[in-house]
Chain A
Amino acid sequence: MIRLVPRSETSMGWQIATPVLAVLATMVMGGLLFAIMGYDPVAAIRTIFWDPLFGPAAGYSRPQLLVKAAPLILIASGLAIGFRAGIWNIGAEGQYIIGGITGAAVALAAYPADGMWIFPAMVLAGALGGWAWGMIPALLRNWFGASEILVSLMLVYVAEKIAAWMAFGPMRNPEGFGMPGSRNLTQYPPAANPELIAGTGAHWGVVAAALAVLATWFLISRHIRGFHIRTAGLAPRAARFAGVKPETLVAFCLGLSGALAGMAGLFEASGPAGQITDSFGSGYGFTAIIVAFLGRLHPLGILLAGLLLALTYIGGELAQLTLQLPAATVQVFQGMLLFFLLGFDLLTRFRVERTVTA
């Protein structure tokens, strides 16, 4: 018989070991899946996890690592703060889309003006848009007790429809020959978010992601609000007695994660994506949930997890090109990763004991 004995404290060693175990298990199961589908499992795993970094085309794919990781890290940093407090913002994808739209709106309104103020104003507008979109579930929860999980998620679909409306309607490029989609912001220098150092892939979103990691680390481990957040997540009643107002916390966490997701959306709209289209939603908002968990809701962990998931995106694209692997493989990998992580998590909270049956 196997028995689970609760640990008095979560095990630090397993906290670090379980994400690694989860990645290894995903590779093994993924390889098995590839084998079933008729691909060479070793080649597939190598293409996804090794080649983007060290393979023959690594010169092209390595900079992409930062491009893909930045939005994930930015969004996950905000989500993790909420998750710690037991506040489930599942709608980061919607906040990302709205941030992209409000940020791009500034540029499109300013076009063709020139000015140093334009890009900072766009960043601000993107953050504000995401913040506002995140505040909708926050206020609806505070005022009416509506589940922030369901409301923030519904708002993803609403945001997708708004993006489609923008791309076909108000934001459509007047010089685009009737094609849906806004002006390409990368061709409008004051609004563009270019690569800052050639060959690295680093744009302003990467800078923002790095700052977000530092800021969330400071918030969680050094600031009184971070203490409140952790207390609220671990012992809600105790937090209440300590004077933590749950309403304030809900608004703070959803607003902050919304603002970060909105910024991620703007950096994407003005950089890698270049424009607002009807398919502006990229899935970063959902993948960031995996990043947050895989990173153990810790800023440093999120940094590493963001880079790893960025690797799966790039490796997945590479595998599409070279092995004709379907695009959805990456999604399956990411889902599998979260499954394994949640499963192995048992080890951080319980000791597995073998009992001798009498």
Chain B
Amino acid sequence: MIDPLSVFLLLLAAATPILFAALGELIVERAGVLNLGVEGMMITGALAGFAAAHATGNAFIGFAVAALAGAAISMLFALLTQFLLANQVASGLALTLFGLGLAALFGKPLEGIKAPPMPAGPLKVNWIVWLGLLMVPLVWWFLNRSRAGLILRGVGENHDAAHALGYDVRRVRIAAIAFGGAMAGIGGAFISIATVLQWTEGMTAGAGWIALAIVVFSNWTAPGVLAGAWLFGGVTVLQLRLQAAGVSVPVQLLSMAPYLATIIVLVAISAMQKFSRRAGGGAPGSLGRNFHALR
């Protein structure tokens, strides 16, 4: 007998890392920056958070450190793209490659150690899961109802116009990148501290890339990100259930499901955006373009 509530709670947990990372990237992209370094920031958070949680015995300190570490490493990307005007696609990739390497290097001594226990929150659901759910309306409110959100969107839609109005494009974007890094860091730490309960090399296994796809899926909106993260969480839980039930399909093929689902959904949404009237869907106008003020 499958209890729908317990399945839903599993789905919530499976969706959480992606939800955090994708909400962060949503803010980054709405500011007009495409940061492909999510995977690198997540793995950094996964390691730093785990190390801090292990050292202090307190999982919450782990998450705080993960957020700081994610934000810190995202500043490398900010330096490259905002000051040195490097290509955003290449810089994001560099951040991912560097982050994966750095985490593997410093994670070696932590292998085989168990994560400290985490006190369960309401409904026996992890506090961080609740925090993730709370972030959805907060991000929505920030983007659509706050003055700072309006400026951020302006910078993302048309950086030249925002600059002409006197807004500091670079400062807004750096703040957005730092926020994205912190959120990705928390998402990564959720995997090491709350899901897998230990540190293993490369443990984010593409979650950062799925988060990037979910931002496209969401049409650059916070509720859309939640829907995308839940869809992903649902596929993950279903796939694990089928594995546990011993379905005759090989395990390796079942474990492809989250990635295939991401591709299918990405294609479907891209097609809708392509064939609908608004070309590019909700993508910010300056997405991926660097800004250089001549005066």
Could you tell me which A residues sit within 8 Å of B by CB distance?
4, 6, 88, 90, 140, 143-147, 149-151, 153-158, 161-162, 164-165, 168-169, 286, 289-290, 293, 326-336, 338-339, 342-343, 345-346, 349-350
Contact = CB atoms under 8 A, between A and B. Distances in A.
B86 A289 contact: no
Interface stretch (B7-15, B119-127, B206-214): B206-214
B252 interface: yes
Best-buried of A90, A143, A336, A342 by chain B (most CB within 10 Å): A342
22 contacts: A144-B268, A144-B270, A145-B273, A146-B271, A150-B209, A150-B212, A154-B259, A154-B260, A154-B262, A155-B263, A161-B253, A161-B255, A168-B252, A328-B101, A333-B101, A334-B101, A335-B102, A338-B94, A339-B98, A342-B84, A346-B84, A346-B85
A290 B97 contact: yes
B240 interface: no
A343 B80 contact: yes
Considering the complex of A and B, which 6 residue pairs feature the smallest CB-CB distances, nearest first? A335-B98, A331-B101, A328-B104, A145-B274, A165-B252, A144-B271
A154 B263 contact: yes
A149 B97 contact: no
A157 B97 contact: no
B89 A149 contact: yes
B256 interface: yes
B93, B99, B206, B213 pick with most chain A CB within 10 angstroms: B93
A255 to B, nearest CB: 18
Contacts of A165: 250, 252-253
A29 B255 CA distance: 39
Nearest to B213: A150
A259 B150 CA distance: 46
Contacts of A293: 90
Q: Which residue among A147, A153, A161, A345 has the maximum number of chain B CB atoms within 10 Å of its CB? A: A153
Contacts of A153: 206, 209
A328 B86 contact: no
A345 B290 CA distance: 14
Contacts of A338: 90, 93-94, 97-98
B97 A286 contact: yes
A158 B205 CA distance: 11
A289 B92 CA distance: 12
Contacts of A342: 80, 84, 86-87, 90-91, 94
A4 B294 CA distance: 8
Contacts of B101: 328-335
Contacts of A156: 206
A184 B206 CA distance: 30
Contacts of B267: 140, 144, 146, 151
Contacts of A164: 252
Contact of A331 (B36, B105, B108): B105
